[in-house]
């Protein structure tokens, strides 16, 4: 009997693991992307070409890089609305430094450093001032954009030619360098979230900050580091974006806040905190890219594109609520009891 039990255990473990994998949001999201891609390819044979797939990935790189940081923020039960403006400020800071004669590589580090300092400023005000991150980052959105305008006078800043390979270069038989950078950051982000003390602290703080504080977790420091992380990634995204187009523009990144939040939420980051996945954010960004590419290839209205993306965001948020069990009141039996109680 004992031998039989031991022999069956691995089978049950394998089935449980497979079932758990199927139930993961990342798996379902990957399935949606594959099905959508196959449907689009039936309507337009150019979709599955190598160049087009590289193009899809390259268009989501900037949004995806920042979505990595936004996932950490959302898991920690905060939000950052300033990422588009910080992206622009970081890029023009690098361009201005280069224009002043600074070494191209040092100029790049200055740009990324400006992003990190922006995150530090936001995190400090949120933690020490006990102000909602929504309000603070909304203010930083305007502050960073204003600084960008003051720094450039509204004029584009030339980026160093030495850095152009970041946004325009290709390696390994045609893969864009920016895509490789993105994939590396996704892997590092997932490891940081799931395999480090910092990642576990972010999850604990987002799940229950009171319990985390009682357990000895430095809640304030963890939140500040989270905002520094997203600021740094916004800086990296600014460098990638500006080297893709060749110049750093004051208007760069406008409206990116919603796309970044959308990618993270579609990827499974809970707006209630405590849950999220970097792989999911990557897939969420890819889904947005596939949708936009499909609308272009099929020559559909850009207004319909905005509508569909908004619908996907709402459905992802509803799915998150359903997964948490917050939609039980919409069950037919619950609705029947509610209406029956009112009539009574």
284 Cα distance to chain centroid: 8
Q: How far is Cα 311 from Cα 41, in angstroms, rounded to an integer?
A: 22
Q: How far is Cα 61 from Cα 17, in angstroms, rounded to an integer?
A: 31
Q: What is the pLDDT along the chain (344 residues), one digit of tens a residue?
A: 444 444 444 545 666 655 565 557 777 788 888 888 898 898 888 888 888 888 888 889 999 999 999 999 999 999 999 999 999 999 999 999 998 889 999 999 999 999 999 999 999 999 999 999 999 999 999 999 999 999 888 788 888 888 899 999 998 888 899 999 999 999 999 999 999 999 999 999 999 999 999 999 999 999 999 999 999 999 999 999 999 988 888 888 888 998 899 899 988 888 888 889 999 999 999 999 998 888 888 888 777 777 877 787 787 777 766 766 666 666 666 666 666 665 44
Q: Which residues pair with 158 in a beta bridge?
A: 247
3-state secondary structure of 247: strand
Q: How far is Cα 191 from Cα 9, in angstroms, rounded to an integer?
A: 29
Q: Which of 69, 60, 58, 57 is nearest to 233 (CA)?
A: 69
Under the phi-then-psi rule, with left for phi > 0, alpha for psi from -120 to 50, and beta for the rest, what region is 268? left
3-state secondary structure of 317: helix
How buried is 196 (Cβ within 10 angstroms: 0-12 exposed, 13-18 middle, 19+ buried)? exposed
pTM of this prediction? 0.87
């Amino acid at each position: 009997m004992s031998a039989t039990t031991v022999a069956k255990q691995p089978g049950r473990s394998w089935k449980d693991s497979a079932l758990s994998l199927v139930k993961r949001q990342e798996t379902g999201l990957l399935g949606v992307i594959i099905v959508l891609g196959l449907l689009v390819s039936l309507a337009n044979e150019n979709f599955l070409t190598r160049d087009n797939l590289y193009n899809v990935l390259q268009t989501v790189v900037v949004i995806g890089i920042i979505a990595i940081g936004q996932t950490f923020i959302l898991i920690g039960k905060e939000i950052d609305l300033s990422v588009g403006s910080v992206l622009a400020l970081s890029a023009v800071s690098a361009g201005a430094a280069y224009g002043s004669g600074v070494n191209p590589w040092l100029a790049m580090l200055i740009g990324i450093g400006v992003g990190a300092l922006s995150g530090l400023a936001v995190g400090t005000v949120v933690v020490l001032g006990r102000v909602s991150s929504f309000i603070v980052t909304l203010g930083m959105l305007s502050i960073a954009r204003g600084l960008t305008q003051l720094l450039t006078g509204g004029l584009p800043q030339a980026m160093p030619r030495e850095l152009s390979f970041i946004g325009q270069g290709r390696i390994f038989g045609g893969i864009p360098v920016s895509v490789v950078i993105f994939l590396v950051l996704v892997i590092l982000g997932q490891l940081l979230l799931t395999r480090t003390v910092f990642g576990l602290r972010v999850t604990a703080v987002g799940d229950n900050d009171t319990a985390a504080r009682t357990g000895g977790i430095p809640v304030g420091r963890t939140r500040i580091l989270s905002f520094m992380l997203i600021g740094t990634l916004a800086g990296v995204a600014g460098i990638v974006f500006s080297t893709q187009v060749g110049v750093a523009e004051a208007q760069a990144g406008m409206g990116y806040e919603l796309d970044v939040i959308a990618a993270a939420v579609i990827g499974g980051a809970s707006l209630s905190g405590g849950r999220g996945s970097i792989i999911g954010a990557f897939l969420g960004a890819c889904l947005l890219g596939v949708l936009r590419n499909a609308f272009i290839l099929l020559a559909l209205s850009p207004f319909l594109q905005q509508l569909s993306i908004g619908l996907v965001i709402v459905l992802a948020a509803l799915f998150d609520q359903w997964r948490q069990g917050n939609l039980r009141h919409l069950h037919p039996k619950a609705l029947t009891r509610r209406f029956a109680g009112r009539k009574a």
